[in-house]
Amino acid sequence: MALQEERYYQRRIATSQFTTVISITLVLFLMGLLGLIIFHAKKLSDYVKENIGFSIIIREGVKESGIFELKKNLDRAYYVKSAEYIPPERAAEKLQDELGEDFVGFLGYNPLLPSIDLRIKAPYTGSDSLSRIERQLMNRPEIKEVFYQKSLVDAINRNMEKISIFLLGFSGILLFIAIVLINNTIRLSVYSKRFLIRSMQLVGATEGFIRRPLLSRSILQGIVSALIAIGMLMVMIYLAIDQIPELLELQDPLMLLFLVVLIVLLGVFISWISTYFAVRKYLRIRTDLLYT
């Protein structure tokens, strides 16, 4: 009879631990999924912003060597992602393709001036930064005009700001829910061991001796849960890229490494701190309250 009760108790502990790992895994998976969305939203935002560029129109009479020197200086500028020289002939070909007419043959000459297409790094695509860059460019004697779509820039920046605020708020709410769920799951797990904790106290075990194996197990549960959640995320990324190959361009190994480390640390920390306070409660609770 005693053997059956012991086996039953061991099965309950094993089931409790399994349930705890699964619960923590699912919560960490959701946190990791949100992290992926946030990181990819940042990459996508940077990609969109860095495709906002300046069309720099060169003054008439500037020699090609002077244009190449200007391009070289722009390539070295801290705010420039890329600079591409567009000669008049190429500009005319692009415009003819867009219009569908040979305006050069109609006019008898090419009225277009040479230009440089400039792409700006994402941190410098704010409206104030672009205005400051525009003023700096217009101070150069070789440049006749600088053109970019200010209304489009303002709209993109406003929308990105709204999306960032929403994601930040949603992340905070989900983090709070994750902490509550993991905490409640671990408290229930520790609750099932409350009589074991009291029995150890009665035979003279110190609080540190009782707490140590439970905390060690909680750290192990956090690591195992985090690794399973990471595995699920990697499978999901692989399937997403398999269906949408363009997503591969948004992947950043350092970003993924940071997310992996964050999930592991989050799983270990929340598991450890929840177990610590749950064990502390049952170490100090009155005996009569163990049955409620």
Give the DSSP letter string of 163-211.
Answer: HHHHHHHHHHHHHHHHHHHHHHHHHHHHHTTHHHHHHHHHTT--HHHHH
Instruction: Tell me the pLDDT tens digit for each residue of 171-187.
Output: 778 778 777 777 777 77
Tokens 């020699």 sit on residue: 63
* Domain spans, the chain: 13-47+156-291, 53-148
Query: Which range, of 51-65, 186-200, 230-244, averages the lowest pLDDT?
Result: 186-200
Q: Which DSSP string corresponds to 209-266? A: HHHHHHHHHHHHHHHHHHHHHHHHHHHHHHHHHHH-GGGGGG--HHHHHHHHHHHHHH
pTM for the structure as a whole:
0.64
Closest-CA residue to 156 (of 134, 127, 119): 127
pLDDT classification of 5: cutoffs 50, 70, 90: very low
Out of 43-57, 94-108, 220-234, pick the least confident: 94-108
pLDDT of residue 22: 82
CATH of domain 53-148: 3.30.70.3040
Please tell me the predicted confidence (pLDDT) of residue 227: 92
Secondary structure (3-state) at 117: strand
Work out the percent of the chain whose per-residue pLDDT is above 70.
79
Q: How confident is the model at residue 1 (pLDDT cuts 50, 70, 90)?
A: very low
Residue with tokens 């200086």: 73
Cα(289)–Cα(221) distance, integer angstroms: 28
Give 7-42 pLDDT, tens digit per residue. Answer: 654 565 556 667 778 878 888 888 888 888 888 777
Give the dihedral sign, CA 220/222/226/229.
positive
In angstroms, rounded to a whole number, what is the distance separating the alpha carbons of residues 87 and 71?
12
| Cα–Cα nearest to 183, from 276, 259, 262 | 276
**CA dihedral (33, 35, 38, 44) positive or negative:** negative
